[in-house]
Structure 1
Amino acid sequence: MKKAPIALVNSVNPYRIEGQKTAAFEICEQLGSAPPVLAIPVGNAGNITAYWKGFKEYHEKKGTGLPVMRGFEAEGAAAIVRNEVIEQPETVATAIRIGNPASWKQAVAAADESNGKIDEVTDEEILHAYQLIAREEGVFAEPGSCASIAGVLKQVKSGEIKPGSKVVAVLTGNGLKDPNTAIDISQIKPVTLDADEDQILEHLEKAARV
């Protein structure tokens, strides 16, 4: 087999997991301990695998405790939840639109070892979370990231997460990774103007009067 000067950088690559696990170190350093609950999106399942590895290693050295790991797949790509490969996954959350996660077994182990769970959220729940954090916190995340927020809201409502619990919800990607979703769901549509100063000023003046 001819070798090419490229490297596979999904979560099959152990170096990626080693790099990603340091995010768990940072959480412990910022909080002083591991959070009681860590919510995270699940696509290829590398993040939940890496974070759990990081929390375990940091706890071994620093005694920071271990969180309950709660991972969230999109309903249309919930291979782990359904325990079956999904040949044609469909979800608005493109970053986690994966029907056969590379780190499937490790993700299940992370949930089981931490007394956590891999759950699913609908596209509607994801988009609600997506708009909620933009409106209330000024955070522009891509939809796949918002599966963590959607999952927390879902499990607080169901009672699986108690109201008032300290939860860290990981946002894994900036909204610019998927700007089309923001454009598609926005009630205010972009306006195209010529590169003309008078035209731009006129438009701004009209908008200010609305």
Structure 2
Amino acid sequence: MLQRLYNWTLSLAQHPHALWALAIVSFAESSFFPIPPDIIMIPMIIARPNRAFVIAGVALVASVLGGLAGYAIGAFAYDAIGVPILSALGKEHAMEAFAERFNGVGFWAVLAAGVTPFPYKVITIMSGWTAMPLGTFLVTSVIARGLRFFLVAALLWKFGAPIRDFIEKRLGLMFILFVVLLLAGFYVVKLL
């Protein structure tokens, strides 16, 4: 099932309206769809490197808008379903404590999920669920998704098809290492 969905998504890159397909997949991936937009974006950029940054821009805007949809899912589904269940169990204060902890590191959670292979939709929904400040969520989403999509676009624009294998297989690992090093750096600075 997942392989068919992957193949279908990949075939959208060849469609005459591929930018619209990229926008739809980028939007959906940020809130509920399991396939990342990179699989459409990479072949599109390889086919038309002169449009690499336009393609990345479409993915960025659609992904952030999809992130807002994920945020809304978290905010409204929690109010409608989560609160009554937690209240009936006497656990509404436990959620408040979790929300405070999550929102205390929320910037980093959104940044890490936005640039790594971690499912971004999980963080968008969690951000709405915990009522993370919308401004923090938006700014971090723009930074994270912009880093991810524009770095891929820049690499493909500069190096073309030979870099494709690296991006598809190792870029997620590089982003994870980058985030770990960034967090470690901030931790060291905080200790000094």
Name the structure, 1 or 2, with higher relative contact order (CA <8 Å, separation 6+): 2
More strand by share: 1
Q: Which has the larger radius of gyration?
A: 1
TM-score by length of 2: 0.31
- State TM-score, norm by structure 1: 0.29
